[in-house]
Amino acid sequence: MPFSHHSHSGQFCAHAENTLEEVVQQVISKGFRVLALTEHIYRPEEDFYPEEQGVYTAASLKERFSDYVVEACRLQHLYSSKIQIIIGFEAEWIRPSSEDDIRDVLSQYAGTIQMFLGSVHHVLGCPIDFDREKYEQAREKAGGTDEQLFLHYFTEMNVMLRALNPPVVGHFDLIRLKSDSPNTQFEGMEAVWERIRDNLEYIASYGGILELNSAALRKGLAEPYPCMAVCQHFLSLGGRFTISDDSHGIAQVGTHYNRLLEFIQRVGIKEIWYADPTKERQYDTRFCGFSSIAVRDLERDPIWSAP
């Protein structure tokens, strides 16, 4: 029973490809049973990415998100006999004022939004996964070292977590991607590890689910997000995990899921959770609940033999 709780399309994301319906059709053809649609919410113009500048305005990004919700509802109904589509979004947490836009989305689309991803793509206002140049700008603002930037990243994440209690936490250690040591396990970084532990303990305390994201493997990292050390600590807390491909078009649907399963087995994770609208969410009934499947049952699915 493969699934993904993180996806994007070129129709609603400037750095992705294909229409949302094409993505859904590809996911169905791969044999997925659950797909969460998680397009990014809108941002102020000061936080536009280069491909958005001069193309969109703050108002048009907001309109695009509205169009996304309409299309997501259409596809959810159209393909209901073939796949369980979950309508969600990826929160754009850049600074504390980002909470206003996120709360606005949750209020405006109450009853339609079934879950969302809490994630951080910016530190000190700078994108940290867009390209190396912007990562270095963020690092300089943080004090000049990867370790200092890591600490700022997990500190800003802590603020996001406590403000939002996101049902799913996306690519927890994305900050590794453009660093000098992208395969780091945060060795010897005591202050960073203290913040990592704080974040994981808080996620576990409210019942949040940590995403195992195969996009890191697609981008050349040795392990998915989060890395082994982070996963082992979260597992020791009784934390729950789900899986995602973070696809940005049909070519990326389910990529490296075979390696993701191998990683899950090495960590020792025994069950994986997936969005289930028939289950009521315990800590926040605005969102759908989650059910679990044993890894020993999940691994029987033929999708794991795909590249």
Q: What is the pLDDT of residues 203-247, one digit of tens each?
A: 999 999 999 999 999 999 999 999 999 999 999 999 999 999 999
Q: 252 near 269, Cβ under 8 Å? A: no
What mean pLDDT is reported for the chain? 95
47-93 confidence digits (pLDDT tens) = 988 888 888 999 999 999 999 999 999 999 999 999 999 999 999 89
C-alpha triplet 185, 186, 191: angle, nearest 5°: 155
**Is the pLDDT reported for residue 282 higher than 80?**
no
CATH number, domain with residue 118: 3.20.20.140
> How many separate domains does the chain show?
1
Domain that holds residue 135: 3-305
Global model pTM greater than 0.85: yes
- Please give the Cα distance from 170 to 117 (Å, whole number): 6
Nearest Cα to Cα of residue 70 among 98, 101, 107, 39: 39
Tens digits of residue pLDDT in 244-277: 999 999 999 999 999 999 999 999 999 999 999 9
Other beta carbons within 10 angstroms of residue 127's beta carbon come to 19
Across the range 142-167, mean pLDDT stands at: 98
Mention every residue, 6+ apart, whose C-beta is less than 8 A from residue 38.
5, 6, 7, 8, 88, 89, 90, 116, 117, 170
Q: In whole angstroms, what is the distance from residue 169 CA to residue 262 CA?
A: 21
How far apart are the C-alpha atoms of 231 and 200, rounded to whole Å? Answer: 9
Closest CA to 277 of 68, 72, 112, 65: 112
